């Protein structure tokens, strides 16, 4: 859900920015506007979250242990969804804050994703346990 809401926000923001920005990925970052550079950075963060999620899902599909990978994906995707949706609202300016604009709804919805999938701290604790080979009683 986090990857999807972030992607929807990016797509909608790209649509809105096309009116004022070129959005040419071949242009060096130092030569583009702040809005374009921010959008490119958010797209890179989204891609990382998507790939981590796909890796964890692939491992589950192939009956491989994926507790660590799933926790990494959940932690990254929740954080990225929140960052992306809030930044997209900001990039869209006054239009992004309008209640009839989906960007505003997605930004509100993304707040729950961190809690829904388990808080960042819990996911990172699970990752630490897997990396260190500790049980839940050994590492709290």
Q: Which residues are catalytic?
A: 117
- Structural element, H or E, at residue 47: helix 34-61
Of residues 96, 89, 82, 6, the one with CA closest to residue 44? 6
Name every residue whose Cβ is closer than 8 Å to that of residue 69 and which is 6 or more positions away in sequence.
52, 55, 56, 59
Instruction: For the chain, state the CA radius of gyration.
Output: 17
As a whole number of angstroms, the distance between CA 10 and CA 13 comes to 5
């Amino acid at each position: 859900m986090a990857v999807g809401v972030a992607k929807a926000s990016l797509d909608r923001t790209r649509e809105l920015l096309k009116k004022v920005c070129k959005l040419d990925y071949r242009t060096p970052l130092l030569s583009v506007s702040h809005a374009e550079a921010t959008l490119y950075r958010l797209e890179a963060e989204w891609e990382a979250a998507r790939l981590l999620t796909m890796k964890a899902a692939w491992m589950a599909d192939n009956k491989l242990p994926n507790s660590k990978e799933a926790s990494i994906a959940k932690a990254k995707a929740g954080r990225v969804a929140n960052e992306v949706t809030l930044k997209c609202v900001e990039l869209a300016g006054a239009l992004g804050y309008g209640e009839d604009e989906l960007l505003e709804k997605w930004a509100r919805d993304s707040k729950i994703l961190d809690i829904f999938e388990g808080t960042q701290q819990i996911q990172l604790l699970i990752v630490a346990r897997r990396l260190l080979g500790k049980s839940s009683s050994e590492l709290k």
